[in-house]
């Protein structure tokens, strides 16, 4: 069973360009989470999605950032008009369908390291 | 609201010595607690987690952590450090409701001296 896949692993963009980060959850997982790790900091929650639904986007910046998890295909984190402050590692995690309403373990991907020049 | 405080952004121990990484949490609801390890340029790997039951939790690679409600702590220990333990360690907390988001501490970088 392959783990959580993220691509690209490294992404370089110039200011003003768009960045698209992809996440394929583990097989059988229907929940996806995105986290951002700024240099020398811990991970900060951004958004939680289920198939075709955004469940919690309380950590998403109000502008330029969006996320989706379509019925088919990977989850996409999209950053429009990138700025240097967007440079960070973006991690995706997935978890299986919930059992009994309890929190399930989240499995993390290797991350996408975004560098904005 | 939940938060995590990791005391010491950098800890250095000698090979074979005890490893102790400190973590205190704040939570208005009974928490789930986690320790993750991150090796350079890699993702996070779950070391161990506390959900319910026994307060001493054993994880992978010889690590363990003890949930102390009275002290709101979840310190990570390993009796004897190995060079391969050098990495960044993150303590984290989540609620118990469906698919709660995980709140991470700022991390502790563990260095091992030969």
Q: Do A103 and B99 touch (CB under 8 A)?
A: yes
pLDDT at A104: 63
pLDDT at A65: 97
Paired strand residues for B108: B89
pLDDT at A74: 95
What integer best gives the mean pLDDT of chain A?
90
Question: Using a CB-CB distance cutoff of 8 angstroms, which residues of chain B are in contact with residue A4?
Answer: 43
Cα distance between residue B8 and residue B22, in whole Å:
8
Residue A53, chain B, CB below 8 Å: the answer is: no
Cα distance between residue B100 and residue A101, in whole Å:
10
Q: Check: CB of residue A42 under 8 Å from CB of residue B9.
A: no
Cα distance between residue A7 and residue A105, in whole Å:
22
Give A12-23 pLDDT, tens digit per residue: 999 999 999 999
pLDDT at B31: 87
Residue of A nearest to B49 (CA): A105
Q: A99 or A69: which carries more pLDDT confidence?
A: A69
Q: Check: CB of residue B114 under 8 Å from CB of residue B97.
A: no
Cα distance between residue B47 and residue B82, in whole Å:
15
What are the average pLDDT values for consecutive 10-residue runs of chain B, which has 114 residues? 90 97 90 91 88 90 94 96 96 77 91 95
pLDDT at A107: 87
| Mutation site, A103, A109, A114, interface B, largest B CB count within 10 A | A103
SS3 B70: helix
Which of residues 65 through 104 in chain A touch B, CB cutoff 8 A? 91, 93, 95, 98, 101-104
Q: Assign 3-state DSSP to chain B and report helix, strand, coil percentages, each to 5.
A: 10, 55, 35
pLDDT at A61: 94
pLDDT at B53: 85
Question: Using a CB-CB distance cutoff of 8 angstroms, which residues of chain A are in contact with residue B107?
Answer: 41-42
pLDDT at A73: 93
Give B60-77 pLDDT, tens digit per residue: 999 999 999 999 999 999
Quickly state the pLDDT bin for A100 (edges 50, 70, 90): low
Quickly state the pLDDT bin for A99 (edges 50, 70, 90): low
Give A56-92 pLDDT, tens digit per residue: 999 999 999 999 999 999 999 999 999 999 999 999 9
pLDDT at B26: 92
Q: Do A111 and B43 touch (CB under 8 A)?
A: yes
DSSP of A35-81: EEE-TTS-EEEEEEEETTEEEE-TTS-SSSEEEE--SSS-EEEEE-S
pLDDT at B94: 87
* A31-56: average pLDDT: 90
CA A115 to chain centre: 16
User: Going by C-beta distance under 8 Å and a sequence separation of 6 or more, which residues neighbour residue B57?
Assistant: B48, B49, B50, B64, B65, B66, B67
Q: Is residue A102's pLDDT more than 70? A: no
């Amino acid at each position: 069973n392959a783990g959580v896949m993220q691509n690209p692993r490294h992404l370089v963009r110039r200011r003003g360009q768009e960045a698209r980060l992809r996440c394929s959850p583990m097989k059988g997982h229907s929940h996806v989470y995105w986290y951002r790790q700024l240099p020398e900091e811990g991970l900060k929650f951004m958004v939680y999605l289920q198939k075709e639904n955004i469940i919690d986007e309380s950590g998403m910046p109000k502008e330029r950032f969006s996320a989706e998890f379509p019925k088919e295909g990977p989850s996409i984190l999209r950053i429009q008009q990138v700025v240097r402050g967007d440079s960070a590692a973006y991690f995706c995690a997935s978890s299986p369908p919930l059992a009994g309403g309890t929190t399930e373990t989240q499995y993390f991907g290797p991350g996408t390291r975004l560098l904005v020049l | 609201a939940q938060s995590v405080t990791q005391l010491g952004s950098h800890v250095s121990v000698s090979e074979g010595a005890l490893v102790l990484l400190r973590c205190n949490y704040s939570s208005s609801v009974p928490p789930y607690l986690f320790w993750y390890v991150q090796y350079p340029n890699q993702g996070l790997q779950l070391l161990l987690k506390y959900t319910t039951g026994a307060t001493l939790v054993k994880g992978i690679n010889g690590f363990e952590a003890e949930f102390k409600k009275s002290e709101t702590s979840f310190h990570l220990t390993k009796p004897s450090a190995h060079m391969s333990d050098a990495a960044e360690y993150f303590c984290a907390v989540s609620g118990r409701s469906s698919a709660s988001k995980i709140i991470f501490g700022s991390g502790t970088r563990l260095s091992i001296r030969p």
